[in-house]
Amino acid sequence: MHIIALSHFVNRQYRHVVRLASILNPNVGKSIYYPPREKLIGQNKKSYIGYNHCGVMSYFLCYHLQKQYPEKEFKVGYSRHQNIRDDHVCIRHNDIIIDPTYRQFLIPTVITGKTKKEKYLFEQLPPFFVGKREDLEKITNELSEDWDDIGQWWKFNDETNIEFDLYDIVHRHKKHSHGANMEKVIAYLSTK
């Protein structure tokens, strides 16, 4: 699978993924955008970080990947930072990382929404990352951030058995038990 073509496909799903997240949680818009950028340019892909919504965003993005590439295997990339109690979830395909919330770890320490680093992160880089671990390291170094610390978010536990099953639920009528808002998501996707 060619990374550039995959990246184009993944980043074209931005609006769809955000729409699904807002159906599931109508308040999602209050936290997935970077406040200094949001204040300057509103809620859009140039202010998006996906803060604290890695699982939901990965789950909905993987739905589109499974629909587009049914023969490919996409796995959960699950990691836990050694110094922090939080964890991180994204998508993996072989050695390719697909992370719809990578920006949340790369926010520069000076925050105005207009710094050179913020412009690089939000105007030159896509909202969803597609690439290899070394590509993330290059971005981190470009932002002059500490890769040894930040890079831990992409050290994955290969033993994870979490599955992205939304595609199976919608298209193969796999049994599920979800709340009312997830039923709305499934109904919405069933019409697409």
Greater model confidence, 88 or 147: 88
Sorted by sequence, the CB contacts under 8 Å of residue 159 that are 6+ apart come out as none
- Where do we find the tokens 């395909």? 93
Read off the pLDDT of each residue in 169-185 and give the average, rounded to a whole number.
72
Enter the pTM of the model: 0.87
Residue-range domain boundaries for the chain:
3-184
Read off the pLDDT of each residue in 159-185 and give the average, rounded to a whole number.
69
Distance CA 91, CA 100 (A): 9
Residues 125-146 have pLDDT tens digits of 999 999 999 999 999 888 877 8
Distance CA 85, CA 101 (A): 18
The percentage of the chain sitting over the pLDDT mark of 70, rounded to a whole number, equals 85
Q: Which residues pair with 80 in a beta bridge?
A: 87
Q: What's 77's DSSP letter?
A: E
The percentage of the chain sitting over the pLDDT mark of 90, rounded to a whole number, equals 42
Q: Dihedrals φ, ψ of 88, to 5°?
A: -140, 140
Look at residue 155 and tell me whether its pLDDT is greater than 90.
Answer: no
Q: Which residues pair with 129 in a beta bridge?
A: 99
Read off the pLDDT of each residue in 56-82 and give the average, rounded to a whole number.
84
pLDDT of residue 11: 98
- pLDDT band (50, 70, 90) for residue 165: confident
CA-to-CA separations, 173 to 123, 134, 189, in angstroms, rounded: 40, 38, 12
Look at residue 170 and tell me whether its pLDDT is greater than 80.
Answer: no
Least confident of 13-27, 94-108, 126-140, 169-183: 169-183
pLDDT of residue 48: 96
- pLDDT band (50, 70, 90) for residue 188: confident
Q: How many CB atoms lie within 10 A of CB 166?
A: 23
Q: Are 75 and 92 in contact (CB under 8 A)?
A: yes
Distance CA 140, CA 133 (A): 11
